[in-house]
Structure 1
Amino acid sequence: MNAVSAPAMLAVRSDSLGCSATTLKQSQELQGSQFSFYRKRVESREVSQVYTPASDRGFLVGISMAQHHRRSIFRGRQGAQFGFGRGAVYTRDFSEDYRADLQGPFDFLLVELPLSWFATVNDDLRVRKVSGLATVTGQDDPVLAHLAAALAPALALPDTDSQLFVDQLGLAMGTHLLKRYGGAGLPSPVNVRLSRVHEERAKQMLLLKGQDQLSLPEIARECNMSASYFLRAFKATTGHTPHQWLMTQRVEMAREYLRHTTLSLAEIAVACNFYDQSHFSRVFSQIVGSTPGAWRRRLR
């Protein structure tokens, strides 16, 4: 099996991940505080090529969102073929040239982890340091598949979800990747808790920011912690992630408005710092178990 030459691939207009811009049916991108996220989908059954030259960008992890994808990955002129079902993953080191023939349709959610993140997270590790991820191709990973499904709506509508939520999902992915493919030893959550001062400061920041794009690293810096350490400590202390805790506080505020005012649902959504009425109804239903309108009618 012979690979298409790198110059020939470069002659075709491609994106930052080496995908041909002309063949992509869907191309989404979302920038988190620490990671970059992409979704790339092709519907054509024709073979397409990917090529990216070696760089210092770090590592890329791909999670298949669909069934029955095959690709041939080349080292030199020799290629090996791999199959991907839904939830199958691959890891890729950007420090090496990457060439592949993509056979038929595919749909991948991709996570780019920069080298700077590995340097930061090493401060939290209790055993050996981690410089990267082991190379895997086509391996099933139900945890990453679940996290990718949760992240996909934010990629589709990047203006309607918070930086906090995206950061949390990114760190959950990063932590899992370190454990499964980096051999990292992370501190147990039972040994990681916030002091009362740090807990109050974090909650104050969450409540005061309103709809602003508050990032997880921003809060963690106020507590003199890394973002990953802070996320584990906050959840161990409160029982919720920061995003879950903030949404719960907003729903409690909304309940007070529903009980004691005649404001419309749209007005309450604005008053409680939801993005819009649809966002308010969705979050309220997830936490309370009914829509805000139905909950108010039961009160009356």
Structure 2
Amino acid sequence: MAYPQHTTARAPASEPRKPHTGGLSPQREKLVKQLILERLGDSLEVTELAQACALSRSHFSRAFKCSTGLSPQDWIRQQRIALAKQLIQYTGLSLTQISLECGFCDQAHFCHIFTRSEGINPFSWRCQVVHGLKSKRSQPSAAPTGIHAGV
């Protein structure tokens, strides 16, 4: 039995595809990300973020994930870990202080989330970073820039 051939026009690979629909508008995405980053150390509820965008909680959550690839909670968690890493690396704050500064309810929860995210606990991560900074400082200054051992 012969099947009819359907000819379909295919867009050349160089043409940009239509953006996915269902995500947040660029203005709403910028607004909500700014709100999250300004209040990273506070308790953030998805309902508050949805209200800031004038959307229902469920619609906001779907749209946020469509726009960012992450749920609002995962995106917030990712930002909190990034802030924690900066504080660990560039301040002498204790891990308890860092956990509270980054919006975690306590140090145990912070350590659990950090370890799950980075594959190493924050204390060990701090030791590696501090050791790495010390070894970079002790390298001879005559080494060409941009070349690192083991790369």
Question: Could you state the TM-score of these two structures normalised by the residue count of structure 1?
Answer: 0.35
Q: Distance in 1 between matches of 2:91 and 2:56?
A: 42
The answer on whether the counterparts of 1:281 and 1:291 sit within 8 Å (CA) in structure 2 is yes
Q: Distance in 2 between matches of 1:262 and 1:215?
A: 30
Q: Distance in 2 between matches of 1:261 and 1:217?
A: 33
- Report 1 or 2 for greater relative contact order, CA contacts < 8 Å, sequence distance ≥ 6: 2
Shift in CA distance, 267/215, structure 1 to aligned 2, threshold 3 Å: closer
Q: Which runs of 5+ in 2 are unaligned?
A: 1-19, 132-151
Confirm or deny that 1:211 pairs with 2:42. Answer: yes
**Paired position in structure 1 for 2:31:** 201
SS at match of 2:70: coil
The answer on whether the counterparts of 1:231 and 1:242 sit within 8 Å (CA) in structure 2 is yes
Q: Distance in 2 between matches of 1:268 and 1:225?
A: 32
**CA shift digits 1:1-43 (9 cap, x unpaired):** xxxxxxxxxxxxxxxxxxxxxxxxxxxxxxxxxxxxxxxxxxx
Shift in CA distance, 217/263, structure 1 to aligned 2, threshold 3 Å: closer
Counterpart of 2:116, as a letter, is Q
**Paired position in structure 2 for 1:51:** none
Counterpart of 1:218, as a letter, is E
The answer on whether the counterparts of 1:254 and 1:268 sit within 8 Å (CA) in structure 2 is yes
**Paired position in structure 1 for 2:97:** 267
CA apart distance, 1:206: 2.2
Alignment map for 1:47-196 (pairs within 5 Å): 190-196=20-26
Counterpart of 1:223, as a letter, is C
SS at match of 2:54: coil
CA apart distance, 1:236: 1.0
Query: Which contiguous aligned blocks of 4+ residues in structure 1 show a shift greater than 4 angstroms?
Result: none
Q: Distance in 1 between matches of 2:96 and 2:58?
A: 35
**CA shift digits 1:214-254 (9 cap, x unpaired):** 33232212212221111111011111111111111111111
CA apart distance, 1:191: 2.8
Question: Could you state the TM-score of these two structures normalised by the residue count of structure 2?
Answer: 0.66
Shift in CA distance, 218/260, structure 1 to aligned 2, threshold 3 Å: closer
**Paired position in structure 1 for 2:63:** 233
**CA shift digits 1:56-108 (9 cap, x unpaired):** xxxxxxxxxxxxxxxxxxxxxxxxxxxxxxxxxxxxxxxxxxxxxxxxxxxxx
Structure (1/2) with the larger helix percentage: 2
CA apart distance, 1:295: 0.8
Shift in CA distance, 271/230, structure 1 to aligned 2, threshold 3 Å: same
**CA shift digits 1:185-236 (9 cap, x unpaired):** xxxxx53111111011112222333333x33232212212221111111011
CA apart distance, 1:269: 1.1
SS at match of 1:278: helix
Counterpart of 1:204, as a letter, is Q
Aligned length: 110
Which residue among 220, 223, 226 is the counterpart of 2:50? Answer: 220
The answer on whether the counterparts of 1:211 and 1:273 sit within 8 Å (CA) in structure 2 is yes
**CA shift digits 1:107-155 (9 cap, x unpaired):** xxxxxxxxxxxxxxxxxxxxxxxxxxxxxxxxxxxxxxxxxxxxxxxxx
**Paired position in structure 2 for 1:243:** 73
Q: Distance in 2 between matches of 1:264 and 1:281?
A: 12
Alignment map for 1:283-294 (pairs within 5 Å): 283-294=113-124
The answer on whether the counterparts of 1:211 and 1:275 sit within 8 Å (CA) in structure 2 is no
Shift in CA distance, 263/208, structure 1 to aligned 2, threshold 3 Å: same
Q: Which runs of 5+ in 1 are unaligned?
A: 1-189
Shift in CA distance, 275/201, structure 1 to aligned 2, threshold 3 Å: same
